[in-house]
């Protein structure tokens, strides 16, 4: 993403955000009123540190997959106002805005900003900063809403995808089919990207395929099936064999021959009556268009009485011409039962007609699937090889938002904290370093936050880890491996070394690997063990000193 | 939107979709595989009719607000492939794609497509087509996913907004604050637009304000408050009076004088101890920047012990200079209790210090509000004037998706239907006309679908309205007013008259007016009366004839 010029400094070539609507105006008005007030008070240059974090993992789970970082860095790298945007801000601010402020905005960019973040695709936990932004308070403040927006949904949907992957197991194909039900066009595109990151194999979303190189999957819908009236409609009936050696002049007739054979033969699993011939026509047409990729949606009329026998007739005709059909998709009904019956049918065909491998035909299932239904299907037993998941996955139906926040933790080297009557909403002050400590078996044991200037925990050395707010919760840990979590992803005009933004595939690999480094009980779907997030003894003491200092003392009257 | 040239035909000037990511590639891969199969079968030009509809209103309600139409029409009006997109499609299709298909795509546009729709902002009901697309089957098919995507979330969030408005009542100010928690950047921008359509007054989202002219609102956050350490930080302390006649050289001192007065005076509601002085500094600074628009977030440290007294000190100092403060925002705690206490405090100030109107100071509330909490607050009694609503509103947390579908109902003048074991999923065949029939009191009574060529229902004439699937549910209706629901919004190259796309404000007005035309029991939050959606006797008979015809007959074995 960044090119080293021959003998000079690095050149910034970070592209703009994927969605052109991500501009400095994609924020809350109050960021501008605050920026104006900071500027009026002469405070806008004061160096501030903000932490972006969440307070609770989604979906009743104990882990979250961090996603959205690349878009945040693209936004920051290209943060600059156009004259039109400045004019709009002038009009949008309440009252009269001094021109000096607009002159200030004209020269604002992120050259004085530094951004430290956990690697995208990491498994992350509550309260640990995912992103730390350091810079002039007015500029950092202007970034808030956009960064939170870009991380919130990305991490939520990536986590949802990872949870689906864990339930489905590694051997199943997981396909994201959510575009039509996503929350807006970009909800769809982000969903495809971040579901892939979280462990899905492919998407139906063509735009996402083009933008991010995600594998694309898809066959046909019910409308295609019902658009056909009868096999007589098919005009071009010839099909060349897979090896090009022969041409079948009447593929439609060949399909009919096979259908009759299936109907006449007393198959080992029973016999079949008439099927829907408009469905047969649709399948035949589809096979003529995609003889190497024949996959049929079999539930438009009746799965077992019509869809499956029709599919088999076409697949057997293709088999005569040395093509191997891919399989079927079920989109309604009892998926466990239907998939098992379909499997029996395919196995009967393999056995009764002597067609090798016909029994292993792929069975895909869709229709309002979610983490829970995947789990139920697994418990019931099924023969589904691939799951197409839409609505519940991409809208994160079980919990539609992750509560990311962006809190001031330091200004002018003074630690700051936000108090709240609700302890879970109290923020952890200070610029911090964050570490993940691993145990003997290679599993992550605890995340530890320490003050910026405290020494790093060392492998093999005992260290006290304290719950930030509960004085009785603490534990000694002797880490076997120590990983520093926050790395520099944007260095402004400083001389620091910046992490590269890896390709999506690498981020996905990181996610898969990180999940393997978690103890399985933390990942459990129901009643998972909480993963510990802690602070050093020194930071603990400081938090509680500052808290007492800031909170007003009550007076009982 | 459309200009009539001097003596020639109309010129299409419908702008592109608001989000540049809405292109012909924003669709499912299977639309392209189907288009290819249609093309291979020589069927792609066949004239098809598709209905876009939903099966159940969201949030347990009995109504939905239709939104997203303008974006659909923008998409259709500009539907055209770039050469780069065509190249991507070639690579994305499985197997080898014939070049002829790509040549076909090169000339595809929507000149042969006609689109009929219900007016955007209308109250709509299950099964009635919101949009009917007529055109070559391959082209109509290519539009499916994008249209469903553009309508689904738009209608869902507009409905959510309308429900919040109904619960809050007309007198409250409703502010949409959801950008940071929305599902992606465009989720945020659409949310702002469609929440305004559904009855909200303003948004915090600057980009949405610019794109759609929605009023913008916002003040400051906790970070602003905690960025200040003490009033000594404030360097520029002077403030000119509202009428420009005098200048207060030490506004900071004036604020302190008022704070001391509040603390020393035994106010009618009690006395107060020390407040947080860093908070006071932040409020004072904000007032210096926006003396005409002073609105303070009062819960950073402690609402009643610190935030409210500090706010009052600043507001009283502003009052000395003839500025009128706007009010406070509460963002945590028991909003009903805190708003009542804040009100008493303001009224005590008005009374004890003789400051007219101080008691009517505006109180805004935020913090995870939703339809239910608004309802609870109303029942408890509160003093909140404005609600800022974010997460639950924009992500439609209570139900994150509306299940819009796009079903083939006719091809080559042959009616088609999709069967399903689940009756609610059976689609209503035929190209239809749709009417809303109104009763004597001006309320909508029933929506009625009839075949394309049936006569329209007439005012004063008795007509039988039947439930489409339940034979025992039917009723005679004598309408006092008949409204045809589907109007032409895109006429392709035909000579038909096309409806204009109205401005957002008009769509919002339509929505408000339509809600008033609904009988209140249909709009009730809990256990609402279902609104009737029916078909003519003739259409009923046809549906059931076709159903029997298409469904395979079972064989008990």
Residues in chain B: 557
d(CA A222, CA B407): 8
CATH class (in words) of the domain with range A218-389: alpha beta
Mean pLDDT, rounded, for B382-388: 98
Backbone angles phi, psi at A28, to 5 degrees: -80, 145
| Tens of pLDDT, residues B438-493 | 999 999 999 999 999 999 999 999 999 999 998 899 999 999 999 999 999 999 98
Distances (CA, A) of B526 to A146, B125, B144, B159: 36, 17, 34, 15
- Distance (Å, rounded) from C-alpha B202 to C-alpha B196? 7
Average pLDDT, chain B: 93
Distance from CA of A263 to the nearest CA of B (A): 13
- C-beta atoms of B552 and A274 within 8 A: yes
Looking at the DSSP bridge assignments, the partners of residue A205 are B28
pLDDT digits (tens, 9 = 90+) for A417-448: 877 767 778 889 999 999 999 999 999 999 99
* CB B389, CB B397: distance < 8 Å: no
Q: What average pLDDT does this structure show over B365-374?
A: 94
Name which of B223, B270, B305 is nearest A408 (Cβ-Cβ).
B223
Which pLDDT score, from 0 to 100, does residue B271 have? 67
Residues of B in contact with A236 (CB under 8 A): 40-42
pLDDT digits (tens, 9 = 90+) for A349-401: 999 999 999 999 999 999 889 999 999 999 999 999 999 999 999 999 999 99
pLDDT, averaged across chain A: 93
> Would you state the structure tokens that stand for residue B442, as one six-digit string?
């001006």
Give the residue with greater pLDDT, A12 vs B247: B247
Give the Cα separation of B357 and B347 in Å (integer): 8
pLDDT at res. A12 = 55
What architecture is domain B231-381? Alpha-Beta Barrel (3.20)
Q: How far is the C-alpha of B184 from the C-alpha of A190, rounded, in Å?
A: 7
Q: Name the residue with higher pLDDT: A427 or B129.
A: B129
Cβ distance of B188 and A26 shorter than 8 Å: yes
Q: In a 3-state reduction of DSSP, which class is residue A136?
A: strand
- pLDDT in the model for residue B471: 87
Please give the Cα distance from A392 to A376 (Å, whole number).
Answer: 15
Mean pLDDT for A256-283 is: 86
Interface test with B, best of A289, A333, A415 (most B CBs within 10 A): A289
- pLDDT tens sequence across B532-554: 999 999 999 999 998 888 776 76
What percentage of residues in chain A have a pLDDT greater than 90? 86
Distance CA B524, CA B181 (A): 28
* Segments making up each domain of chain A, as ranges: 13-162+399-549, 218-389
Residue with tokens 């980009």: B207
Confidence of residue B95 (pLDDT cuts 50, 70, 90): confident
Which one is predicted more confidently, A260 or B273?
A: A260
Calculate mean pLDDT across residues B498-512. 97
Identify the band that residue A155 occupies on the pLDDT scale cut at 50, 70 and 90.
Answer: very high
Residues of A in contact with B20 (CB under 8 A): 20-21
All residues at 6 or more sequence positions from A309 whose CB lies less than 8 Å from its CB, including other chains: A259, A262, A263, A272, A275, A345
Number of A–B residue contacts, CB under 8 Å: 416
Does residue B6 have a pLDDT over 60?
no
Q: Which residues pair with A434 in a beta bridge?
A: A449
Return the residue in B289, B337, B364 with the most chain A beta carbons within 10 A, the one to mutate for interface testing: B289
Question: Could you read off the pLDDT of B214-225 as tens digits, one per residue?
Answer: 999 998 999 999
Chain A residues touching residue B182 (CB < 8 angstroms):
149, 152-153, 183
Cα three-residue angle A190-A193-A199, rounded to 5 degrees: 130
Chain B residues with CB under 8 Å of A48 CB are 227
Q: How much is the pLDDT for A272?
A: 72
What residue of B is the nearest CA neighbor of A290?
B95
Contacts with B186 from chain A: Cβ below 8 Å: 19, 21, 184-187
CA distance A371 to chain B (A): 16
The per-residue pLDDT for range B265-277, each reduced to its tens digit, is 877 766 678 899 9
Beta bridge partners of A464: A476
Q: What CATH superfamily is the domain A13-162+399-549?
A: nicotinate phosphoribosyltransferase (3.20.140.10)
* Chain B residues whose beta carbon lies within 8 Å of the beta carbon of residue A552: 273-276, 301-302, 305-306
Instruction: For residue A397, give the chain B residue with the closest CA.
Output: B400
State the complex-level ipTM: 0.94
User: B2-162+399-550 — its CATH code?
Assistant: 3.20.140.10
* Residues of A with Cβ-Cβ distance to B403 under 8 angstroms: 181, 391
The pLDDT of B142-163, averaged and rounded, is: 98
């Amino acid at each position: 993403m960044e090119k080293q010029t021959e003998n000079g400094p690095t050149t910034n070539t970070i592209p703009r955000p994927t969605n052109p609507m991500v501009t400095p105006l994609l924020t809350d008005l109050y960021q501008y009123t605050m920026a104006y007030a900071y500027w009026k008070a002469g405070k806008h240059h004061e160096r501030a540190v903000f932490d972006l974090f969440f307070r609770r993992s989604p979906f009743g789970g104990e882990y979250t997959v961090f996603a959205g970082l690349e878009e945040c860095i693209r936004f920051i790298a290209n943060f600059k106002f156009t004259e039109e945007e400045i004019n709009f801000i002038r009009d949008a601010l309440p009252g009269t805005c001094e021109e000096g402020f607009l002159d200030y905005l004209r020269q604002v960019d992120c050259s004085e900003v530094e951004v430290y973040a956990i690697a995208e695709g990491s498994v992350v936990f509550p309260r640990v900063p995912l992103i730390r932004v350091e810079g002039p308070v007015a500029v950092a403040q202007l970034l808030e809403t956009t960064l939170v927006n870009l991380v919130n949904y990305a991490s939520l949907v990536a986590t949802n995808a990872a949870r689906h992957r864990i339930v489905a197991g590694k051997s199943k194909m997981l396909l994201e089919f959510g575009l039509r039900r996503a929350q807006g066009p970009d909800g769809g595109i982000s969903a495809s990207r971040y579901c892939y990151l979280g462990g899905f194999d492919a998407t139906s979303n063509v735009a996402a395929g083009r933008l991010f190189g995600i594998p694309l999957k898809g066959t046909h819908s019910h409308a295609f099936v019902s658009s056909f009236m009868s096999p007589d409609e098919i005009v071009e009936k010839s099909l060349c064999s897979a090896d090009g050696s022969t041409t079948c002049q009447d593929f439609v007739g060949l399909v009919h021959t096979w259908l009759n054979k299936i109907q006449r033969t007393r198959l080992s699993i029973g016999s079949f009556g008439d099927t829907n011939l408009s469905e047969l026509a649709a399948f035949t047409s589809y096979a003529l268009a995609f003889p190497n990729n024949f996959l049929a949606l079999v539930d438009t009329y009746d799965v077992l009485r019509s869809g499956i026998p029709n599919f088999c007739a076409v697949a057997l005709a293709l088999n005569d011409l040395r093509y191997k059909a891919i399989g079927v998709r079920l989109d309604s009904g009892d998926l466990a039962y239907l998939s098992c019956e379909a499997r029996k049918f395919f196995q009967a065909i393999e056995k009764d007609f002597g067609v090798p491998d016909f029994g292993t035909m792929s069975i895909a299932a869709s229709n309002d699937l979610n983490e829970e239904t995947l789990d139920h299907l697994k418990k019931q037993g099924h023969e589904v090889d691939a799951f197409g998941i839409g609505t519940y996955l991409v809208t994160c139906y079980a919990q539609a938002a992750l509560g990311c926040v962006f809190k001031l933790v330091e200004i002018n080297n003074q630690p700051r904290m936000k108090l709240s009557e609700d302890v879970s909403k109290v923020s952890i002050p200070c610029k911090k370093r964050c570490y993940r400590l691993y145990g003997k078996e290679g599993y992550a044991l605890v995340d530890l936050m320490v003050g910026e200037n405290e020494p790093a925990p060392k492998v093999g050395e005992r260290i006290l880890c304290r719950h930030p707010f509960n004085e009785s919760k603490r534990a000694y840990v002797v880490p076997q491996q120590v990983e520093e979590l926050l790395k520099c992803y944007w260095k402004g005009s400083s001389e620091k070394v910046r992490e590269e933004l890896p390709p999506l595939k690498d981020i996905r690999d990181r996610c898969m690997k990180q999940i393997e480094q978690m103890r399985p009980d933390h990942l459990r779907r129901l009643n998972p063990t909480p993963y510990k997030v802690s602070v050093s003894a020194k930071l603990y003491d400081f938090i509680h000193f500052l808290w007492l200092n800031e909170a007003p003392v009550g007076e009982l009257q």
